[in-house]
Amino acid sequence: MCNNRTGVSNSGQFGTFLNNEISYNGNSGLTLGSTSVGNLVMDNLLVCNIPGNITDSGTDNNILNNMQKPCEPCEAPSVVCGQCAGAAENSTN
């Protein structure tokens, strides 16, 4: 996945996010919103999501055994992806 927004956003309850690769997103890789409860986030590979790979604002979400890799030098989503879909909507002039 490659965009200037959140890769996966969830506000639900008791969901499962298992064995995914979530990469190069410009507004977090996986976001569990304030109303998310009891979700399982396990065995995912999260690579170079800005500002962070996982943002958990919910309650009792289980985040287990995920591999997180930060961006390498010159590997930010905007560099790797170029002008992704939605880039114009999120840019400031």
Q: For 20-43, what is each residue's pLDDT tens digit?
A: 999 988 889 999 999 999 999 999
pLDDT, position 1: 57
Cα torsion angle, 90, 24, 45, 16, sign = positive
pTM of the model: 0.77
Closest to 66 (Cα-Cα) out of 38, 39, 44, 40: 44
Residue 65: C-alpha distances to residues 30, 43, 44, 83 (Å)? 15, 5, 8, 32
Please say if the pLDDT value at position 89 is more than 50.
no
Q: Which domain holds residue 1?
A: 1-68
pLDDT, position 91: 37
- The number of distinct structural domains making up the chain is 1
pLDDT, position 3: 74
| pLDDT-based confidence at residue 92 (cuts at 50, 70, 90) | very low
Is residue 76 a part of any domain in this protein? Answer: no
pLDDT, position 13: 98
Is residue 35 a part of any domain in this protein? Answer: yes
